Chains A and B, each alone.
Chain A
């Protein structure tokens, strides 16, 4: 069974607009971590943002923020004021114990 699901293989956004990438996960645990990673064409996996499940407040990093809905097991990423450099593959990840589980990724295109 897929632990982390990203239902949008591809998304596009106009430069300077806002886009939301979806992620859902499956768990019976109450304490865990969630992450969004960005993989640009360089292939480097870059941490964008992380969320501890015990924290109710949504994490924010500059133009990147999450909407963490624990009961719904949903962890979406919002990118505000999209820039050309945001174009990349975005992976949602869930951490349980020492194990990390990754989604299949969403390819984001930014249209000038």
Chain B
């Protein structure tokens, strides 16, 4: 199994630009989570999906952030417009039913 796949691994963009992060969960897993990790705030849950349906998006910082899961094998996290304070490592993780969470390698986002 390839594990959770995230792309890109690194993204550098300028303030105001749109950023799209991508995630492919482990095949068969039915829940998907997006996290953001910074030194100041640690690991923060942004949103999670269960069977492709967003269940809890209370962690999404503001309207500039949006996430979709059009099918069981793909999810996106979009930031539009991006700001320097969005710089962080963004993780995607997937879960099979109610079991263990498996993380992707993360996307390091730098907004200049």
Is there an interface contact between B101 and A100, defined as CB atoms closer than 8 Å? Answer: yes
Number of A residues contacting the other chain (C-beta, 8 Å)? 20
Closest residue to B55 on the A side, CB-wise? A98
Partner of A44 from the list B33, B45, B103 (CB cut-off 8 Å) is B103
Chain A, interface SS category: strand
List of A residues within 8 angstroms of B89 by Cβ:
43
List of A residues within 8 angstroms of B31 by Cβ:
98
Q: Does A84 contact B (CB under 8 A)?
A: no
Bitwise, A77-112 to B at CB < 8 A (1) or not (0) is: 000000000000001010101111010110000000
Is there an interface contact between A35 and B101, defined as CB atoms closer than 8 Å? Answer: yes
Is there an interface contact between A43 and B106, defined as CB atoms closer than 8 Å? Answer: yes
Is there an interface contact between B93 and A104, defined as CB atoms closer than 8 Å? Answer: no
Task: Name the residue in A91, A97, A100 with the highest tally of chain B Cβ atoms < 10 Å from its Cβ.
Answer: A100
